[in-house]
Amino acid sequence: MSAGGSLKSIFYALAANAGIAIAKFIAAFMTGSGTMFAEGIHSASDCGNQLLLLWGMKKAKQPPSPDYPLGYGKEIYFWSFLVAIIIFSIGGMYSLYEGIHKLQHPPESFQDAWVAVIVLIFGIILEGGSLLGCLKQIKHLRGETPLLQWCRETRKSELIVILGEDLAAELGMMIALVFILLAQFTGNPMYDAIGSLLIIIAIFIAIKVKGLLVGQSVNPKIRAELVAALNSKESVKEILNVITLQLGEDVMIAVKARMDDANAVEVCKDINQIEAEIKTAFPQVKWIFFEPDIKK
């Protein structure tokens, strides 16, 4: 899937979160709900996060330059990591603070709880639509690969961020809905406070994107296919080493191989042909550094 699939997922999430944030803040003002206000902060920060991802994807498309000979593809990883920090701090830590504050100082009453319930149901429907849209785009990428395995192995940081945001928002609103209903039926507003405690998904996103920032290889399945394609070439007698590096949408490959030809001119022709065939079979491969060698 091209970057267009990621763009669709980001725009779905941006539209959903903008509507949800407005509705949540209105409900928080009407009800005095700490959970609802924390959820509004979360949805508003999600809108900012999606704008940052869009900016990161735009920056990542810049062509290579003398200072950045391999291009700017990893820009998207930086902005994805920044989004993870925002989710952790604004979405997670603020919710944690709000929850602890309400547990220590529970409000005397919880007004107009049904307004909050209606807004949360509305938000669950909108966020559910965004989540389904994201999962649909991911399905094109993962094929038959289980979703959890895809999440561990994928190099699409922007989709991981959107998936994490959508899951966190959907789960958070469902928990908030349950606790608001409990607060309404039991008369104990402390239930409203407990619904603010969510933070784990931001940590997962940060850990995942950190690996891509440091310099992660391509997906193991794609690497295996690349090695198999190289081994299938008649002029390649033996693959001595293959190094891959994921650079946003682009991939760099460094190959050391024992070649069949003894003539230097023929070796160069073989290498040029191999590089052209690899780039045709794997469009994401932008750079190939092929070093012929002899087995020692």
Q: Quick one: which of 170, 263, 246, 256 has its CA closest to 209?
A: 246
- Provide the pLDDT for residue 193: 45
Q: What residue type is assigned to position 69 of the chain? A: P
Strand segments (E) across 1-100: none
- On whether the pTM is more than 0.95, the answer is no
- Provide the pLDDT for residue 197: 47
- Provide the pLDDT for residue 235: 86
Strand segments (E) across 142-217: none
* 193/36 Cα distance (integer angstroms): 10
Question: How many beta carbons lie within 10 A of that of residue 116, not counting itself?
Answer: 29
The full DSSP string for 223-274 is: HHHHHHHHHT-TTEEEEEEEEEEEETTEEEEEEEEEES--SHHHHHHHHHHH
- Provide the pLDDT for residue 2: 52
* 213/218 Cα distance (integer angstroms): 13
User: What's the CATH fold of domain 220-293?
Assistant: Alpha-Beta Plaits (3.30.70)
| Residue 57 CB contacts under 8 Å (≥ 6 apart), including other chains | 3, 6, 7, 10, 76, 158
- Residue 16 DSSP label: H
CA distances for 80 relative to 68, 121, 228, angstroms: 20, 29, 32
3-state secondary structure at position 287: strand
Report, as ranges of residue numbers, the positions in the chain whose pLDDT lies below 70.
Answer: 1-5, 33-36, 38-39, 90-113, 183-199, 262, 295-296
The two tokens of residue 94 are: 């603020």
Q: Where are the domains of the chain?
A: 3-214, 220-293
The structural architecture, per CATH, of the domain 3-214 is Up-down Bundle (1.20)
The two tokens of residue 179 are: 């606790």
